Amino acid sequence: MKVGFDISQLAFPGGVSSYLKNLALRLGKRKDLDMIYFYSSLRRNYAGSLKNVKSFRIPPTILEPLFNRLRVLPIEAFIGKVDVFHSSDWTQPPSRAKKVTTFHDVIPLKFPELSVPKNVNVHKRRLELVEREIDVVIAVSQSTKNDLIEISNISEEKIKVVYEAAGEEFVPQPDKKIEVFRKKFGLPKKFILAIGGIGNRRNLQRAKQAAGRYNLVITGETIPQVSDADMPLLYSAATVLLYPSLYEGFGLPILEAFGCGCPVVTSDCSGMSEVAGDAAILVDPKNLESIKEGIREAIAERERLREKGFVRAKNFSWEKCAAETVDVYNSIYQRSQILHG
């Protein structure tokens, strides 16, 4: 089976990039797949280890209208004929292949006030194409699937939940490396970690109030943005991860922190509670006292939560994600083979 996979968003840091990197690596090792990767970025050349990457210097500002609005060039014009095409969460090119796409969340559609108008418009246009053309939609959590059923015309039968995972690098780090990292960023011996972000979705104002007398470190705000390679050191150095976001499609930092032995306080809503299970302290993100109590409980129960986090993280793996994604490809490919003899 020949599969095309859009990995263009590897050019941008974040959860989508982590998903693409980890999933693409494992799909590329499958002997039952002939993978062809589409990558396009004006500023960043592809620098990974994947084979058969078709790379183009076209920015997303051109690809979005080309694929989502003009629709004059099929993806085959760039990567050749494929049996299945797996699109990104930004563009939906026309294709004669069977089509799969992944929804990581529906923030621009369900909570437009938490996004920027340009992103909202792009996702609205793309959703119309997905509703008309996509054979299977992969949702990264049951919460995201439920949201899609609520805000779109995609039938429930077309939506398959396939969980993400933390990368293999998210494990407890050696004490010596942690100390070097701590000195590099001027980190205190004990601190509460929060993940920064654009807008109000990460609920940082309440996080700051709830932290009170505790040292609060916010990525991209109180310290510079930490590289992906250094994130395991940051989680390993932290006393607790405070992640009281108002909405997340999945909540990858929760699993990353679990893997590094960092207890987690997170919200009792959307994908976060689904990912955390009973291994984190769940709080009401809109209730300041609930967040404060969550921090106190996580610090008091730190060792118990560390052990529960390690166990919980093992329920998620990229190997499992890849296997279930291939099951999706097979289901629509085999159907097409039967229909066309």
pLDDT, one tens digit per residue, over 145-160 is: 999 999 999 999 999 9
Q: Is the pLDDT of residue 341 over 60?
A: no
pLDDT in tens, 203-215: 999 999 999 999 9
Reduced to 3 states (helix: H, G, I; strand: E, B; else coil), residue 91 is coil
The CATH classification of domain 175-313, taken from the options 3.30.70.360, 3.40.50.2000, 3.40.50.300, 2.40.160.40: 3.40.50.2000
pLDDT of 14 reads 86
- Map tokens 């291939």 to a residue: 326
DSSP string of 238-279, one letter each residue = -SEEEE--S--SS-HHHHHHHHTT--EEEESSHHHHHHHTTS
> For the whole model, what pTM was predicted?
0.94
Strand order in the sheet with 136-139: 53-56, 34-40, 2-6, 84-87, 98-103, 136-139, 159-161
Identical fold at 2-165+317-339 and 175-313? yes
Instruction: Return the percentage of the chain with pLDDT > 70, whole number.
Output: 99
Domain boundaries, the chain: 2-165+317-339, 175-313
| Mean pLDDT calculated for residue range 318-332 | 98
CATH entry 3.40.50.2000 includes domain 2-165+317-339? yes
Phi, psi of 212 (to 5 degrees): 55, -120
